[in-house]
Amino acid sequence: MAEEEDLSEMAKDVERHLKLDPPSSQADNKSVSPDHVLENVLENVLKFLTSKRDRNAVSLVCRSWHRVEAQTRFDVFIGNCYSLSPARLTRRFTRVKSLFLKGKPRFADFNLMPPDWGAQFAPWVAVTAKAYPWLEKVTLKRMFVTDDDLALLAASFPGFKELVLICCEGFGTSGVAVVANKCRQLKVLDLIESEVTDDEVDWISCFPEGETNLESLSFDCVVSPINFKALEGLVVRSPFLKKLRTNRFVSLEELHLLMVRAPQLTSLGTGSFSSSSSTHNNAAQSEQEPDYASAFRACRSLVCLSGFRELTSEYLPAISPVCANLTSLNFSYANVSPDVFRPIIRNCHNIRVFWALDSICDEGLQAVAETCKELRELRIFPFDPSEDSEGPVSGLGLQAISEGCKKLESILYFCQRMTNVAVTAMSENCPELTVFRLCIMGRHRPDHVTGKPMDDGFGAIVKNCKKLTRLAVSGLLTDQAFSLIGEYGKLIRTLSVAFAGDSDMGLRYILEGCPKLEKLEIRDSPFGDVGLRSGMHRYNDMRFVWMSSCRLSRGSCSEIARALPSVVVEVFGSDDDDDDDEEDNADYVETLYMYRSLDGPRKDAPKFVTIL
Amino acid sequence: MIGQLMNLKATELCLGLPGGAEANENLAKSAVGNKRGFSETVDFMVNLQSNKEGAVELNKVVSASTEKTLLKDPSKPPVKAQVVGWPPVRNYRKNIITQQKTSGKEEEASSEKAGNSGGGASGAALVKVSMDGAPYLRKVDLKMYKSYQDLSDALAKMFSSFTMGNYGAQGMIDFMNESKLMDLLNSSEYVPSYVDKDGDWMLVGDVPWEMFVESCKRLRIMKGSEAIGLAPRAMEKYCKNRS
């Protein structure tokens, strides 16, 4: 329906522009030449094009299209902040309203990268402050953002509306306070899994007086207490607020107050979900205990629930009134047992996204499989993230999910033991899978029933899941597994490998296969120089390659750097001291991180990083 | 060459991991009950040498040895070894869960705060260990050990010619007795020292174990004769701390 409307709009625009002067976008040229008209038409057509892939394709047609596309691109996504300089961004795209920047590669989340490696937001905010004063939205993932950067942002963009910081660090509550205070048009302030230092600033009180435009406020990752009265006041004067994710310093009683004030919420992060009155007299308390269930019932639009940071399970049934409406449920910080979990999930027929800890066990997963027929995304995290933990979920749970949730598209599953049979079952039952990430926590663990490698299971995944774009492997895997991945993983864009493979052939299979591979991250696998060299023809077309604790030598990394001038080749160790004691291993490469870049090696690399 | 592999001393220059062979054998023996054959050790060492892996973390040496252990005998439980960043769960998540495990209502743990350092993983106290004369470094996680004795055993495995001298009860040095201290320094070939929070080089064993874990930033195993230079400073600080 929307498409038809768009087309008729377009037709009207075309008509209009054929009669009138060109709009001010072509300010330097007032003539109505045929070329100009075509460009205007194109501009109006391209405004409807939002997919980045489509836009990239359009920009390659010819110079004219390149120019028009650049002028109509309002949303820019940069998957690697070092792939180009801020200056290049502003030269090409002149009308950017929204910027999404990604910094460090994912393995940095697991302490595999020394701190202070880079990915600073500072140069970007400095340049965009001048080039895009109309900037409205900034999303950053794995970037280093300082309080000064946030202050500059708040000062430079008067119409600023949305700030989303995912897995970022380097700033504190004082930076957040500045944004809250100065960005008067702010609609979205989402701090997601970021490290926010406690500067002991009451940032909630820094939001200006009067009605706000806030639609989304997420601060569940902020590990410092907040001024609850101020939060309550903020919620009361934010009539457009739809998403509120509180941190664990908000108790159940306080949550109740918030819910009563904001029954229009669609997404709620429940904070601690435990009563703050545990130190009080229990008898006195039970008389005054708020009716949590009715507060939930009053939130008729609630579709997304998360939080439960310190769950006291006796209160969990309070969420029952909303279960049937929920499309997204995140229990991944709540250590719920199957007995507590099952009665709750039984009502959640519409769940599409479900995150939980493995404490729900295979039985819990069975319950999910029986009820959640609309499930699209499942993530099961380990309550005890160590290699020798008990592992309450296994292939049984995985297989049950595959049999019950046929529409599954994305899965992340941590377990201690797995079988090829279960993985194969999932490959056969869930043809819509685009993301399959299985983490068998014990390194090199074979199929625990047959003792064989996990090759067959992962092989089945790549063979049967024809839409697979992201794959993470684990367990005992031979080169055969990689041969299958290379051969059948036709659409795979991201591949994650750890403690797997036998030899360079494994890496060769991947690099000589997997035609769409863009992001390759490998750790602790026996892949060396021969394997690395075999991908020479690929690296210009990939976003990045990460290889740590493999068998690479400096020589071959230098070779790549020389042969491919548009690829930046960084090598570094896992810590940031430059010790004199480590001279002997000068040839061994602990970590290789290489990525394509339009503007050559970065100037801000710290001492411990060597750019070849 | 076989003899060399078997009798490598930490102070001998070589490409491989001198302490590695013994460490692997010890671990292998304890985990698999002598099932692991010598040939596997040789394979392992040859692989390592051909890759010129010098200063590899102990963790990885151990993990490599457990790899072999697991392959040959998957039914035996693997030797517990700390591998950086594995399983791949973000610190953010680990910290929250750890915090829940210890106590629900505690003050926020300092581990939750800006954990920018490489040792940001909750609970890990990774410090570098070097030994005078050895061409490589190791890293240890002090939180994996419960006492000076544990640490001493681990260091002994890592650097085979090192043994901790007589540290008395609970592994602490008796600083009050100067002659005893001098005996210690003269008798043992090597003595462990560490850099504390203030940046000073101290003798290991001057404070209770838990305090040591908190304040130790780096370990260095030095010849006793060199450590003598540290002793007066260490004694002074010890006395200052005591008073």
Residues 85-114 of B with CB under 8 A from A: 85-94, 96-97, 100, 104-105, 108, 112-114
Sort out which chain B residues have CB atoms less than 8 A from A172's CB and list them: 114
pLDDT digits (tens, 9 = 90+) for B186-232: 665 677 888 888 888 888 887 888 888 888 888 888 877 777 666 55
Strands A588-596, A494-498: pairing kind: unpaired
Q: Report the residue of B47, B50, B51 to disrupt the A interface, i.e. the one with the largest count of A CBs within 10 Å.
A: B51
Strands A588-596, A567-572: pairing kind: antiparallel
Residues 23-82 of A with CB under 8 A from B: none
- The model carries a pTM of 0.73
Q: What angle do CA A321, A327, A333 make, to 5 degrees?
A: 85
- Report CB contact under 8 Å: B113, A109: no
- Quick one: how far is CA A97 from the chain centroid? 21
d(CA B25, CA B52): 20
Cβ–Cβ < 8 Å for A264, A301: yes
Token pair listed for A45? 């057509």
Q: How far is B136 from chain A (nearest CA, A)?
A: 6
Comparison of pLDDT for A63 and B74, the residue scoring more:
A63
- Quick one: how far is CA A397 from the chain centroid? 25
- Report CB contact under 8 Å: B54, A439: no
Give the nearest chain A residue to B105 (CA atoms): A310
Of B113, B120, B135, nearest to A111 by CB-CB distance is B120
d(CA A519, CA A553): 21
Residues 66-85 of B with CB under 8 A from A: 66-67, 70-71, 74, 77-78, 80, 83-85
* Closest residue by Cα to residue B149 from B114, B105, B178, B192: B192
Tabulate helix, strand, coil % of chain B (nearest 5): 45, 10, 40
Q: For residue B75, what is the DSSP state?
A: T
d(CA A217, CA A535): 44
* Coil/strand/helix, residue A611: strand
Token pair listed for B67? 């790899």
Q: A452-456, B37-41, B156-160: lowest mean pLDDT where?
A: B37-41
pLDDT value, residue A455: 97
- Report CB contact under 8 Å: A109, B90: yes
Q: How far is B195 from chain A (nearest CA, A)?
A: 14
Comparison of pLDDT for B43 and A468, the residue scoring more:
A468
Q: Report the residue of B49, B95, B97 to disrupt the A interface, i.e. the one with the largest count of A CBs within 10 Å.
A: B97
* Coil/strand/helix, residue A256: helix
pLDDT value, residue B94: 86
Token pair listed for A532? 């690395």
Of A385, A442, A581, nearest to B89 by CB-CB distance is A385
* Coil/strand/helix, residue A254: helix
Give the nearest chain A residue to B124 (CA atoms): A111
pLDDT value, residue B135: 56
- Report CB contact under 8 Å: A221, B92: yes
Residue A440 parent element (H or E) = strand A435-440
Any CB–CB contact under 8 A between A355 and chain B?
no
Q: For residue A535, what is the DSSP state?
A: T
How many residue pairs bridge chain A and chain B with CB atoms within 8 Å of each other?
155
Q: How far is B167 from chain A (nearest CA, A)?
A: 28
Strands A544-553, A588-596: pairing kind: antiparallel
Residue A35 parent element (H or E) = helix A34-46
pLDDT value, residue A462: 97
Residue A37 parent element (H or E) = helix A34-46
Of B56, B104, B113, nearest to A197 by CB-CB distance is B113
The count of other CB atoms within 10 Å of the CB of residue B86 is 25
pLDDT value, residue A571: 94
- Report CB contact under 8 Å: B55, A581: yes
Question: Phi/psi at B52 (nearest 5 deg)?
Answer: 50, 40
Any CB–CB contact under 8 A between A559 and chain B?
no
Sort out which chain B residues have CB atoms less than 8 A from A583's CB and list them: 135
Q: How far is A271 from chain B (nearest CA, A)?
A: 12
Q: Report the residue of B86, B112, B222 to disrupt the A interface, i.e. the one with the largest count of A CBs within 10 Å.
A: B86
pLDDT value, residue A423: 98
pLDDT value, residue A9: 56
Sort out which chain B residues have CB atoms less than 8 A from A416's CB and list them: none
Residues 153-192 of B with CB under 8 A from A: none
Sort out which chain A residues have CB atoms less than 8 A from B87's CB and list them: 382, 385-387, 414, 439, 441
pLDDT value, residue B25: 39
Sort out which chain B residues have CB atoms less than 8 A from A499's CB and list them: 67, 86
Q: For residue B202, what is the DSSP state?
A: E
pLDDT value, residue A386: 83
Sort out which chain B residues have CB atoms less than 8 A from A166's CB and list them: none
d(CA B93, CA A332): 9
pLDDT value, residue B203: 83
ipTM of this predicted complex?
0.84
Of B63, B71, B130, nearest to A581 by CB-CB distance is B130
Sort out which chain A residues have CB atoms less than 8 A from B83's CB and list them: 387, 443, 524
Q: How far is A599 from chain B (nearest CA, A)?
A: 28
pLDDT value, residue B103: 54
DSSP string, B88-109: ---HHHHHHHHHHHH-SSSPPP
Token pair listed for A488? 């059948």
Which residues are bridge partners to B190 per DSSP? B223
Any CB–CB contact under 8 A between A499 and chain B?
yes
pLDDT value, residue B137: 64
Strands A435-440, A470-472: pairing kind: parallel
d(CA A492, CA A471): 7
List average pLDDT for each run of 10 residues in chain A, which is 612 residues long: 51 51 44 72 83 84 85 91 95 94 95 91 96 97 96 96 97 95 96 93 94 97 94 97 96 95 96 73 57 93 95 92 96 94 96 96 96 97 86 95 97 96 97 97 93 97 97 97 97 97 96 96 95 94 95 92 94 62 66 94 89 86
* Closest residue by Cα to residue A315 from A331, A333, A293, A299: A293
pLDDT value, residue B147: 84
d(CA A549, CA A526): 9
At position A14, the amino acid (one-letter code) is V
Residues 164-183 of A with CB under 8 A from B: 167, 169-170, 172
- Beta-strand ranges (E) seen in A442-582 are 470-472, 494-498, 519-523, 544-553, 567-572
pLDDT value, residue A398: 97
Token pair listed for B235? 């004694």
The answer on pLDDT for B67 being more than 50 is no
d(CA A355, CA A412): 9
Say which residues have a Cβ less than 8 Å from residue A53's Cβ, sequence separation at least 6: none
pLDDT value, residue A451: 95
Averaged pLDDT of chain B: 59
d(CA A600, CA A589): 21
Give the nearest chain B residue to A553 (CA atoms): B51
Sort out which chain A residues have CB atoms less than 8 A from B128's CB and list them: 575, 577, 579
Q: For residue A109, what is the DSSP state?
A: G
Any CB–CB contact under 8 A between B137 and chain A?
yes
At position B163, the amino acid (one-letter code) is T
Q: For residue B170, what is the DSSP state?
A: G
DSSP string, A551-583: EEEHHHHHHHHHH-TTEEEEEE-SS----GGGG
Comparison of pLDDT for A517 and B10, the residue scoring more:
A517
Any CB–CB contact under 8 A between A443 and chain B?
yes
